[in-house]
Amino acid sequence: MRFLLVSDTHIGGRFDELMFNKGVDICNHLDADYLVHCGDLTNDGTLAQYEIAKLYLEKFNKNKNLIIIPGNHDVKNVGDLLWEEMIGERFFCHEDEVKKVKILALDSSEPDSDTGRMGPKGIQRIYDEFGSIPEYWLKVLIFHHQTLPIPYTGRERSAIYDAGDAVRAILDNNVHLVLNGHRHISNFYRMSDGAMQAWIVNSGTLSCKKTRYREEYSMIVIDVDREKNDICIRVVLLNKDPYEEQIKCRCRFQEVIPPMKKDHLATIVQIGNTDICDTHFNTDSFNKGVKAINDLNCDLVVHCGEVTGSAYLHDFEWSKALLEQIDKPKLIVPGDDDAYPLGYELFPEYIGDMNPTFNNDVLDVLGFNSCLIDEKTGRLGRGNVAEIVDKLTNSEKLGVIAFHHTIIPLPRTKHDAELMDAGDVLSAIVKNRINLVLTGAKNQAGCWQVNDTVFVNAGTLSSYNITKREGNSFNIIDIYQTNIGKYYEIDEYLISSFKRKNIGLFHVSDIAKPIEVPPVIEYLPRKQV
């Protein structure tokens, strides 16, 4: 099954008609099951631009199955009403019994805003439409905004607000393909909760003169063969003569390999959000949690920030005494509350280096201060990213990094405690196959795999500001060596009930698989090349 993916044409604004026509020629020439436009058809959502856009859409062959959704620019100036009058529905579902494919298209735009939102009804519709579909069907979800941060896009500020709920719904319902636009540069990630994989594909801009880095104008060709369990993702660069094809991926579409044999390598205990202060510190939970940790045989305890609740002097004095009760090696990074108002002076004095490190025979761990003074968002910075790449890429040990702020959005929380440079950080981590990333914002435990990297977020060890009915918790991460790579068993330890609940199982190969070169595509008839 073939999908042609275009996006962000921005007709009526900084529109490049030449590039649009090149894309049309390719789409009309190639055999494809679906032509998908991921939004921002127009630039300002005005009547005049919609009238022009309809004429441009008529250039595509009528026999193409065109699926088009609105973007944030399309709903400017009450453009959502014009969309429904002149283009079609903003929310719809396509189902094909013969091809065994179901496609859900959702409008993630907010009127006159660059950011987006699924909303409770949109999230619920993912469950309603995909929950009962057989697994041999191909499940495809399309919306304009991104869920995971995108590289080369500057400050992370325009994902959907409820990205965490969207990601959870995608993984809960084993959605196979997620197609987005919005950021004017192509990108893809393979994401898993340990059970199934979702391929999250972002399209670049087909014809807007606002381009990013060196990609400029592009479209994507996605070929999925469910019988052979094969996927191929190609980016076609239109501003080249002849067109340049970049093979981003060709590999197995869905693959989960249980370990045949595993040898224990290391155990990491991950805690976060102790919130030691006068107002919301739960002493009983802290004491029970410390006793449980001290009873474990672990190599390292990683505290992912929010040691204190207010960063006052007596908070740090109290924190120092309490944390010394943990009789294991510790690596502690600050959270945003630890940096305000005196934390930058007091944290090094009472807790330790704000950019700590840990090494043993198995682990190579780098901790980073991701905080900005008096801000909830964070930042790693290009220098720290370069250090991660320099020290952990191709390391013979398990490469682990720890900081407070999130990269992967968390369910039931607003996506506002992430790294400002999350797109570039995520890309560097995944590209260089760093083994494990530990974060701690938002008091909520969770774990995910993106490509070959495992991400784990901590709940709260001892704060009254809990986000789940099970109460306070910490994570236990057991890492094993298998015949092909590393196997991660991640449990959340529920302090009130003294129970371990498994929240993730991930099996990751040590060796990056080379991209198989697929057959060449003739994007235009030979006489026109």
528 located within any domain: no
Q: For residue 504, what are the CA distances in angstroms to 194, 458, 490?
A: 6, 13, 5
Are residues 231 and 193 part of one domain?
yes
Are the beta carbons of 477 and 268 closer than 8 angstroms?
yes
Average pLDDT per consecutive 10 residues, the chain (529 residues; last block may be shorter): 97 95 95 96 97 96 90 95 96 95 96 90 96 93 94 79 93 96 95 89 96 93 93 94 88 86 96 95 97 97 96 94 97 93 92 97 97 88 96 94 94 80 95 97 94 97 91 97 96 96 95 87 74
Are the beta carbons of 378 and 343 closer than 8 angstroms?
no
Are the beta carbons of 307 and 346 closer than 8 angstroms?
no
Are residues 233 and 277 part of one domain?
no
Are residues 300 and 212 part of one domain?
no
518 located within any domain: no
Are residues 214 and 115 part of one domain?
yes
Pick from 252, 275, 308: which residue ends a domain?
252
Q: Exposed, middle or buried, 472 (CB in 10 Å: 0-12/13-18/19+)? A: buried
Pick from 252, 286, 306: which residue ends a domain?
252
Are residues 288 and 224 part of one domain?
no
- Predicted pLDDT of residue 256: 80
368 located within any domain: yes
Are residues 242 and 308 part of one domain?
no
Are the beta carbons of 178 and 189 closer than 8 angstroms?
no
Q: For residue 334, what are the CA distances in angstroms to 18, 268, 364, 404?
A: 51, 18, 19, 7
* Nearest alpha-carbon partner for 141 in 172, 112, 110, 186: 172
Pick from 252, 282, 311: which residue ends a domain?
252
Are residues 397 and 503 part of one domain?
yes
Are residues 224 and 287 part of one domain?
no
257 located within any domain: no
Are residues 453 and 418 part of one domain?
yes
Number of domains present in the structure of the chain: 2
**What CATH number corresponds to the domain at position 155?**
3.60.21.10
Give the C-alpha separation, 195 to 83, whole Å.
Answer: 38
328 located within any domain: yes
- Predicted pLDDT of residue 529: 45
Are residues 220 and 306 part of one domain?
no
Strand, coil or helix: 233 = strand
261 located within any domain: no
CA 179-522-254 angle, 5° bins = 40
113 located within any domain: yes
Give the C-alpha separation, 432 to 435, whole Å.
Answer: 9
Q: Which residue has the tokens 């760093």?
A: 434
**Which residues lie closer than 8 Å to 429 by C-beta, 6 or more apart?**
388, 401, 407, 437, 453
pTM of the model: 0.95
What are 96's strand-pairing partners?
Answer: 101
Are residues 475 and 365 part of one domain?
yes
Are the beta carbons of 102 and 95 closer than 8 angstroms?
yes
138 located within any domain: yes
Are residues 492 and 384 part of one domain?
yes
Host domain of residue 309: 266-509
- Predicted pLDDT of residue 415: 67
